[in-house]
Amino acid sequence: MGPRVSAIAELRAATWPIHQRLEKRIDVKRRFSTLASYRVHLESMWGFCDSLERRAAQGLVTEALADYESRRKLPLLTHDLLALGASTDELDRLPRCQNLPACDEPAAALGCLYVLEGATLGGQTLLPLVQKRLGLNAANGAAFLASYGDNVVSMWRAFGAALDAWCAAPERSARAAAAAVATFGSLEQWLCGQAA
């Protein structure tokens, strides 16, 4: 038997099909074509992240990911929506995603957060599009896409190291992978409607 594949590689392999399907369905060109459609997308992501980050925190993710608070996406999305003219009352009234996998222990919580952490890498490719089309940057409506700025690669590697360390045992890695697949499924349904 050869060496065990890392947990991050297992999650990447497990989520690849649904990740690719979501990328095709999300229609970035349409979502990021106007300030109004971009704001609707951010509102949807806000409702998803609000629910998911609460669940991940309850799943004791800080036990496995010490810097979890600095990785939360909801503050970035809140900043962006306020910059685009939303009020705090409007944010309070936004729908929240309820159809999420259980994040009741660290391996599952890490699997759920894998999806959001991966979005930081995707944000790096989408940020230039938003800058060019909509004239936004991290200060005025694109903080979520800019996420960790120049530190996005090092933050992704640190997340991978934490995931690999916590999920070294096959049963933990399997729980993380199942949670990641389920989270992608929830995100697809939340953003695009029923699975294709």
Q: What is the DSSP string of the chain?
A: --PPPPHHHHHHHHHHHHHHHHHHHH-HHHHTSSHHHHHHHHHHHHHHHHHHHHHHHHTTHHHH-TTHHHH-SHHHHHHHHHHTT--HHHHHHS----------SHHHHHHHHHHHHHHHHHHHHHHHHHHHHH---TTTT-HHHHTTGGGHHHHHHHHHHHHHHHT-SHHHHHHHHHHHHHHHHHHHHHHHSS--
Supply the pLDDT for residue 103: 85
Query: Is 70 contained in some domain?
Result: yes
| Structural domain boundaries enclosing 105 | 7-14+23-192
Query: Is 2 contained in some domain?
Result: no
Supply the pLDDT for residue 183: 96
Query: Is 1 contained in some domain?
Result: no
pLDDT in tens, the chain (196 residues): 445 678 999 999 999 999 999 989 988 888 999 999 999 999 999 999 999 998 888 767 778 888 999 999 999 999 999 999 999 999 999 999 999 998 888 999 999 999 999 999 889 999 999 999 999 999 999 999 999 999 999 999 999 999 999 999 999 999 999 999 999 999 999 999 865 5
Query: Is 153 contained in some domain?
Result: yes
Query: Is 128 contained in some domain?
Result: yes
Query: Is 57 contained in some domain?
Result: yes
Query: Is 54 contained in some domain?
Result: yes
Supply the pLDDT for residue 118: 92
pTM over 0.75: yes
Supply the pLDDT for residue 27: 87
CATH number at residue 82: 1.20.910.10
Supply the pLDDT for residue 194: 66
Supply the pLDDT for residue 64: 85
Q: How many domains does the chain have?
A: 1
Supply the pLDDT for residue 70: 92
Query: Is 114 contained in some domain?
Result: yes
